[in-house]
Amino acid sequence: MNQIPLTLGYIPLVDAAPLIIARELGFAEREGLALTLRAAPSWSTLRDLVALGQIEAAHMLAPVPVATALGLGGLPSRLDALCVLSVGGNTVGVSNELAAAMRAAGHDFDFADATAAGKALIAAAGDRLRIGVPFPFSMHAELLYYWLGALGLEAPQALDVHTVPPPLMAEALASGDVDAFCVGAPWGSIAVENGSGELLLPTSAIWAFAPEKVLAVRHDWAESEPDLAKRLIRCMWRATRWLADRSNFVTASEILARPEYLNLPAELLERSLTGQLTISPRGEQRRVEDYLHFHDGAATFPWRSQAGWIAARLAARMGLDRASARRAAHSVFRSDLYRAALAGLAVDLPGASEKLEGALEQATEVPAQSGSLILHRDRFFDGQIFDPGAI
């Protein structure tokens, strides 16, 4: 079979694994695709490479296609999310000074209670908290605004959010440019390894099943090349299924650790896959179930209700009309193409493309197109439920 060349962009993060594994283990080749992977220095660079047609697709922050549909970011090209690549995988970290103040006030860094952690952070930060995120339109930013805002810390009055590329987050914390951060694996762990800070909370404690990265393409490319789009969805689906098998974690870590990819110790990367995280330079550890999800629980399905939640949050923050934002975002998560791509693989697909977000207190069996599937717990820390039809 002749291989069709495609260039995919990524940021060096553990959750870029589906692209890397699809290329290295032949899942792309099985679909007749010859993937070239191109690392980018920042999310804005990666977004622009896709939008300007310099690459076909990219590992992308889930809110970026939604923000683009809402006219945010200054680019005319619409971006679509073909599938979700990962769920969770982010941590909130704090400087050593903030950590010491929080511990002195009695916070135990249990790594699970978002309400207690948020209140302790706000109390220790005083009048103003400077926090780093990788990009303004990111789940890192939206979850922070949601979490801290619900606990009384409002932006911009008491919260300064700074954009810092993931590989520079530990350095920004060490130099005092920020007091805290929210970043994807393994860069939170790098701050601990460097002795510049401690990990406070996984973002799964804020929203238990938040979409993190998607596979983004230009809308016009998806419309003109539906066959290639479907091939990309299938090879990513197979790669994420392989990544969900714990027996593959060591191999996955060794592949990701290669100089051409993350160029970091495999042992450090394996922590993110297992959820066994070291949270302080003193070696304290916390085990986080479902810290980083690639496949199970319909993790790769591009739920339009998740796009709706992102749109509602962006609209509220940017002063846009929420109903208009929801309509604009509705078709950006391409559940239609996803269903078409996997139709021949006997995959249990959700019976609907929207759901109540935050409604599941535990793993729950739900109807599928044929049979049923298990959706994972998706609770918000404050018990809120997002109804996409109520906007």
pLDDT of the residue at 297: 93
pLDDT of the residue at 67: 96
pLDDT of the residue at 391: 64
pLDDT of the residue at 1: 60
pLDDT of the residue at 257: 98
Average per-residue pLDDT in the chain? Answer: 95
pLDDT of the residue at 44: 94
Residues 137 and 17: their CA atoms lie apart, in Å, by: 22
Is the predicted pLDDT of residue 244 greater than 80, yes or no? yes
The string of DSSP codes covering 307-355 is HHHHHHHHHHHHT--HHHHHHHHHTTB-HHHHHHHHGGGT---BS-S--
Is the predicted pLDDT of residue 121 greater than 90, yes or no? yes
Residues 85 and 62: their CA atoms lie apart, in Å, by: 9
pLDDT of the residue at 345: 87
Reported as a single tens digit per residue, the pLDDT across 337-365 is 999 999 988 888 998 999 999 999 999 98
Residues 349 and 289: their CA atoms lie apart, in Å, by: 24
Reported as a single tens digit per residue, the pLDDT across 130-182 is 999 999 999 999 999 999 999 998 777 789 999 999 999 999 999 999 999 99
pLDDT of the residue at 258: 98
Is the predicted pLDDT of residue 331 greater than 80, yes or no? yes
Name the amino acid, one letter, at 89: G
Cβ atoms of 57 and 35 within 8 Å: the answer is no
